[in-house]
Structure 1
Amino acid sequence: MMQFMFYYLMIIINFLFMKTNHPMSMGLTLLMQTLMISINSSMINCWYSYMLFIIFIGGMLVLFIYVTSLASNEIFSFKLNIIYFIFMLTMLTMMFYFIFDKLYMYMYMNQETNTFNMKNINNDLMFSLYKLYNFPTNLLSILLMIYLLITLIASVKITLISMGPLRQSLN
């Protein structure tokens, strides 16, 4: 049932993204979407969701700097229609939650074997993530880290210090 709520909230956030026209509000909806995805994936493995969220926040900070430097004078306005839309969808979600919660509770009350099978599925997913950093694939992970470090160093060396969208020249 909790999965249903997360998926429904993600759909609402996707509708909000389509209704926005300001870059800052689009970034905020992307941030909310990433938070919902990381909360949903933390039910399987918490470290993966934590890394996903931290990496996405780093990318969003870079995008935030570019947006504020390129479109700094654009006025941010929030329409009341969108607020009403969010409120109505939230109320609809809560109604569905309270209606279907009792239905699911009644359906799964006598089926204790289903919870046991779900625990086994979660353990299999965790073991498959552990295999990612063991012998055959750890070399690929180290190669990827070295490649990203070299790319970072090359991009820093290529950029000019005195020119660019974030640099101010003192002429």
Structure 2
Amino acid sequence: MYIYMVPMLLSMIFVNLNHPMLLMVNIIMQTIFICLLVWMINNTSWFSYILFLIFLGGLMVLFIYICSLASNENFKVKINLKFIIPTIILMTAISSQFTSSQEVSMVKNFYKMMSETTYPNSNWNILSLITLIVVVKITGNNMGPIRMTKN
């Protein structure tokens, strides 16, 4: 049940972070938890999977850009507990209002996700992986747009 509260806590921590790399890690964690929430609310995982891949693709581009800008910059983690502790207390008070039937429905959604009907999806995943490997082999490593080699 606390999985609903984690994105709010991560948002509170996000305000206090001051280094771009920590901000990226926080955004990635928020993306993972938001996709888990979408997967639990909907009974299908394809939407959350595609949402995660799109977010992760955009974050990879931002990560490369930020690493090139702030590669040698030192950072200190400074978290202001004046805002986080009341938020945690508030979240635990709110989470006590949920019933156990909602937790049972989340467990049923998880077992439904891991049922035999999801096996054909794994074939599509294998086909997509093979296609990705073929495309990478065809394009070549030296001719990519990210880094040009000197000859």
Q: Which of the five TM-score ranges fits, normalised by the shorter chain?
A: 0.5 to 0.7
- Residues 1:118 and 2:112 aligned together: no
In the TM superposition, residue 119 of structure 1 has moved relative to its aligned partner by 2.2
Higher helix fraction (1 or 2): 1
Report the equivalent of 2:9: 9
> How far does the alpha carbon of each residue in 1:124-167 deviate from its partner, in whole angstroms, 9 at most, with x for none?
33357643321x553333112321344462328x71237xxxxx
When normalised by structure 1's length, the TM-score is: 0.51
Report the equivalent of 2:42: none
User: What is the RMSD of the two structures over their aligned residues, measured on CA atoms?
Assistant: 4.2
**Equivalences for 1:44-59 in 2 at 5 Å?**
59=60
Report the equivalent of 1:26: 20
Report the equivalent of 1:93: 87
Unpaired runs of 5+ residues, structure 2, are: 40-44
Report the equivalent of 2:136: 148
In the TM superposition, residue 6 of structure 1 has moved relative to its aligned partner by 0.8
Choose from 63, 66, 69 the match for 2:68. 66
In structure 2, relative to structure 1, the CA distance for the partners of 1:4 and 1:67 (3 Å cut) is: same
In structure 2, relative to structure 1, the CA distance for the partners of 1:30 and 1:129 (3 Å cut) is: farther
Q: Give the paired residue count.
A: 131
Describe the SS at the equivalent of 2:5: helix
Unpaired runs of 5+ residues, structure 1, are: 163-171
Contact 1:12 1:89 in 2 (8 A): yes
